[in-house]
Chain A
Amino acid sequence: DAGITQSPRYKITETGRQVTLMCHQTWSHSYMFWYRQDLGHGLRLIYYSAAADITDKGEVPDGYVVSRSKTENFPLTLESATRSQTSVYFCASIRTSGDYNEQFFGPGTRLTVL
């Protein structure tokens, strides 16, 4: 089916472990984004990508790494997870041509760091 998928949907890990959250979109949208959602903060941008091999930091990038070797995939890696990274993570994409301007969101990944 077309859209954005995220995996895993739920993840429990321990402090210090490396974790990778996957994001895949079927529209070939050029821009993709990673947000984290925390109570009282809304959604905050972690990293974004304008195209394959082009990434840039958002508002809260510390402790995260991204890559984008293919247009459709945008994985987010926590190199050494900390408890403060317990959150719900959303991936999004946007079509940058035509009249479409809204971002489309994946279903989210709930990450718990013990």
Chain B
Amino acid sequence: AQSVAQPEDQVNVAEGNPLTVKCTYSVSGNPYLFWYVQYPNRGLQFLLKYITGDNLVKGSYGFEAEFNKSQTSFHLKKPSALVSDSALYFCAVRDRGDYKLSFGAGTTVTVRA
């Protein structure tokens, strides 16, 4: 079985401040980890993924995420948040041998000007 936990329903930050969205996962084998973003009334857009290799992965729009195997975490980060980053963010995991994704409940990010 695989699962994802996003412990924060909401994250509020001021524009220009660092942004972190937390994610922890559980999977029986080796994980493939993903972050997606959803803007209002839109579908999910892929941000970044961890497959193998460097634990720090960089993605779209200046986002990055760090894979930590010992803590089973994959936190999303952005050094300087923008108002336009306000959206709903989902972490997802799948086992390397499977194509089905399991999603977290989502974290709503609000960046205030």
**With an 8 A cutoff between CB atoms, is A64 at the interface?**
no
Q: Which residues of A contact B100 (CB under 8 A)?
A: 33, 45, 48, 58
> What is the total of A-B residue contacts with beta carbons within 8 Å?
49
**With an 8 A cutoff between CB atoms, is A94 at the interface?**
yes
**With an 8 A cutoff between CB atoms, is B101 at the interface?**
yes
Give the total of A residues in contact with B, Cβ under 8 Å. 24
Decide if A108 touches B43 in the complex (CB within 8 Å). yes
Q: Which residues of A contact B83 (CB under 8 A)?
A: none
Contact pattern, B 1-19, Cβ under 8 Å of A = 1, otherwise 0: 0001010000000000000
* CA A101 to CA B95, docked complex, whole Å: 12
A37 CB, min distance to chain B CBs, angstroms? 8
Instruction: State whether A102 and B90 are in contact (beta carbons under 8 Å apart), knowing that A42-B106, A94-B99 are contacts in the complex.
Output: no
- Contact among A40, A45, A92, A107 for B105, CB-based, below 8 A: A40
Instruction: State whether A101 and B51 are in contact (beta carbons under 8 Å apart), knowing that A31-B99, A42-B106, A43-B90 are contacts in the complex.
Output: yes
* CA A31 to CA B36, docked complex, whole Å: 19
Decide if A103 touches B101 in the complex (CB within 8 Å). yes
Instruction: State whether A42 and B44 are in contact (beta carbons under 8 Å apart), knowing that A33-B100, A94-B99, A102-B34 are contacts in the complex.
Output: no
Q: Which residues of B contact A43 (CB under 8 A)?
A: 44, 90, 101, 103
* CA A35 to CA B101, docked complex, whole Å: 10
Within 8 A of A (CB), among B43-94: 43-46, 49, 51, 90
Decide if B46 touches A104 in the complex (CB within 8 Å). yes
A19 CB, min distance to chain B CBs, angstroms? 20
Decide if B49 touches A42 in the complex (CB within 8 Å). no
Q: Given A96-B99, A102-B34, A103-B46, 16 more contacts at CB 8 Å? A: A41-B105, A42-B6, A42-B90, A42-B103, A42-B104, A43-B44, A43-B103, A45-B102, A48-B99, A48-B100, A90-B44, A101-B51, A105-B36, A105-B45, A107-B42, A107-B43
